[in-house]
């Protein structure tokens, strides 16, 4: 499978107007939970797959995540951002999360390291819920409805980008 190089992605971005890549507006908006939302693109073998994601940047936002929600729009998700590499010992749990989710751990270059399925945890205590951890440090994590990655052909190694601090993947020599 051929993956675009950083140079190819930058050239492609330069040739496309912003509205073609991100839709009619690239403005950051506020989600119903008070979090900012941004457009996000996962670049995979089937081409760009677009999502609108809520961004959890602060500890309180990341701790709450998608708890206590009954649904997530089909092309929506939550992006958990960290200021630098986050240790692999820090993972994600599904305490008080009602929606089955997939999670992609993303490295500092924007590449997906791993994808895992997570099911709701109905335990009365958070300490009784399993924790999903990656095998390597990560810079971000993306939660979407369970099955979204598979349905869109997204696999580890694919590139994730978003406006602001979501840079393009580093040229790995492929393509």
Per-residue pLDDT reduced to its tens digit, 94-103: 999 999 999 9
The per-residue b/e assignment along 73-82, b for 16 or more CB within 10 angstroms, e otherwise, is eeebbbbbbb
Domain ranges in the chain?
A: 30-161
Q: Which tens digits make up the pLDDT trace of 7-65?
A: 444 333 433 333 334 343 333 444 456 899 999 999 999 999 999 999 999 999 998 99
What is the structure's pLDDT at 16? 37
Q: Specify the length of the chain in residues.
A: 175
CATH fold of 30-161, please? Jelly Rolls (2.60.120)
Q: Which tens digits make up the pLDDT trace of 148-160?
A: 999 999 999 999 9
Q: CB-side exposure of 144: number of CA atoms within 13 Å?
A: 23
Cβ neighbours of 133 (radius 10 Å): 17
Write down the pTM of the prediction: 0.78
When pLDDT is averaged across residues 134-154 and rounded to a whole number, the result is 97
């Amino acid at each position: 499978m051929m993956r675009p190089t950083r140079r190819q992605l930058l050239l492609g971005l330069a040739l496309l107007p912003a509205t073609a890549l991100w839709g009619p507006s690239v403005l950051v908006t506020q989600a119903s939970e008070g979090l900012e939302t941004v457009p996000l693109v996962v670049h995979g073998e089937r081409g760009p797959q677009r999502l609108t994601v809520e961004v959890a940047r602060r500890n309180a936002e990341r701790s709450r995540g998608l708890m206590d929600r009954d649904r997530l729009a089909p092309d929506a998700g939550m992006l958990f951002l960290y200021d630098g590499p986050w240790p692999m010992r820090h993972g994600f749990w599904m305490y008080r999360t009602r929606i089955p989710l997939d999670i992609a751990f993303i490295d500092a270059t924007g590449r997906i390291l791993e994808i895992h399925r997570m099911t709701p945890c109905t335990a009365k205590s958070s300490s009784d819920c399993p924790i999903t951890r990656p095998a390597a440090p990560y810079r971000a994590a993306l939660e979407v409805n369970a099955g979204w990655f598979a349905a869109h052909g997204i696999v580890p190694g694919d590139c994730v980008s978003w406006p602001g601090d979501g840079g393009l993947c580093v040229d790995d020599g492929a393509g």
